[in-house]
A and B are shown apart, each in its own frame.
Chain A
């Protein structure tokens, strides 16, 4: 061990390589795999969407994922300190990624709370016949049936939702304060295999229901003319980008906890392809179930499909569960437990990249950092359990994803490929320790394809943004809660990068 290594504080490490892979899979596989991906496929050419999706996976998703593995493993720090080591002036970018992750954590945990409530409701099918009214009006207490006119009607917290969110926070806090190996890894080793088994059960049940083939026809019948539409390609790159948890700085923190001698690229490919395989399987289960619901209601699959997201999970699926011929509570618990498990493993990863950044900046112990971060995030999360909480959650989610994550990811790629010009060093680092070597395609993807496509994704989002107000929300709400939230993360990151100091240095010549 070099003198430089001896000066560095002891760093958390994964207990096993498998533990790291499961934790990274747990981070990538989240709620979006279950409720976003099926609809992206359905709305963008059906089976034909797989072509741009595979290309996006190969030219952007997997390359960026491996780049983040390389950065974290090479510099052995969270994102801010790693970017500081690449170029001191760019430390703010690491902080911005961490700040965006923090904001996402404040509302992600609220959805975990909803899942907990719905596991409980599954036993008695408490949502009744009108699942939309139950979820929006009775459970969330959202003003005037989710009419955007009630955007600013904040109201008081919904106590039953707050109670569920408190339990979700308690679970997340327990795992976070136990640390990387005894908390995150332990949870991932239990929850990820369980999640996969639960998904297989759901898919098998859905495929054996009447009408399943109709649902799959709607999902997979290809519309090849859609491939000429740029929006479809933009959707493919956007989906791959959001789904793999890149630009959150999670993978930088996670790979920094790996031992020096480890295979990076094969692990990255396992994580990337598992994530893609999982969401493909989820899409089959979701649309087979929608086919069944359409037959039950004597209507078309396109009529019951809705728009995915929260509505699919908490409005459409309760309807499907209640329509099942037998064991409705069992399948209700299985479905919402799947969402919960997928969400918990993602939530701890989102918090971990913030914890790593704060600990390194302020020399804090893990428990102190976790106390501060969870404490502040809990207070902010109360905003999302008010009457207008659903609007705020939706708005913040839209803005941090469309403009925070994508722009941060674009800046990350530009920094490495064009500004600091360390792309070859990152590739050499990956290739030195990995069995699967990155060839010219990786460099071409990082230098040209990914920056161009991400720029077009941002432009596409901006064009949509200025076309009409997102979800019909008032402009004041979108500016204050959405754009204001993103600007606040940027301001916080610039402030945190002031008074920047050189982190504990490591001998980068070592593998």
Chain B
């Protein structure tokens, strides 16, 4: 693959999948803390 295409693929993956992982992790953390309360 061309380097520019790889870079754009990685940018998309980091922003979309990484962003999604962050909000899911936040959801899990909040759910657990609420359960403890």
Interface residues of A (CB under 8 A from B): 17, 21, 46-48, 50, 54, 213, 216-217, 219-222, 263, 266-267, 269-270, 273-274, 276-277, 280-281, 284, 435-436
Contacts and interface: CB of A to CB of B under 8 A. Distances in A.
A435 B1 contact: no
Given A216-B9, A220-B8, A277 B16 contact: yes
Nearest to A50: B12
Interface in B1-37: 1-2, 4-9, 11-13, 15-17, 19-20, 23-24, 26-27, 30-31
Contact of B5 (A47, A276, A281): A47
Contacts of B12: 47, 50, 220, 280
B9 A266 contact: no
Given A220-B5, A270-B24, A280-B13, 20 more contacts: A46-B8, A47-B4, A47-B11, A50-B11, A216-B5, A216-B9, A219-B5, A220-B6, A221-B5, A221-B8, A222-B4, A222-B5, A222-B8, A267-B27, A273-B19, A274-B20, A276-B20, A277-B20, A281-B17, A435-B30
B7 to A, nearest CB: 8
Contacts of B9: 47, 216, 220, 284
Nearest to A434: B30
28 contacts: A46-B5, A47-B7, A47-B9, A47-B11, A50-B8, A54-B15, A213-B1, A216-B5, A217-B1, A217-B5, A220-B1, A220-B4, A220-B8, A221-B8, A222-B8, A263-B27, A263-B30, A266-B26, A266-B30, A270-B20, A270-B27, A274-B20, A277-B19, A277-B20, A280-B12, A280-B13, A435-B26, A436-B26
Contacts of A281: 17
A270 B19 CA distance: 9
A216 B1 contact: yes
Given A266-B23, A270-B23, A435-B30, A280 B16 contact: yes
Interface of B: 1-2, 4-9, 11-13, 15-17, 19-20, 23-24, 26-27, 30-31
B23 A269 contact: yes
Contacts of A280: 12-13, 16-17
A266 B27 contact: yes
Contacts of B4: 47, 220-222
Contacts of A216: 1, 5, 9
A435 B32 CA distance: 14
B10 to A, nearest CB: 10
Contacts of A17: 31
A342 B23 CA distance: 22
A217 B6 CA distance: 8
A468 B5 CA distance: 34
Contacts of A436: 26
Nearest to A221: B5
A363 B37 CA distance: 39
A195 B5 CA distance: 27
Contacts of A222: 4-5, 8
Contacts of A273: 16, 19-20, 23
A283 B23 CA distance: 22
Contact of A47 (B8, B20, B23): B8
B35 to A, nearest CB: 12
A269 B26 CA distance: 11
A281 B9 CA distance: 10
Contacts of A54: 15
Contacts of B27: 21, 263, 266-267, 270
Nearest to B24: A270
Contacts of B11: 47, 50
Contact of B8 (A21, A48, A266, A269): A48
A274 B27 CA distance: 13
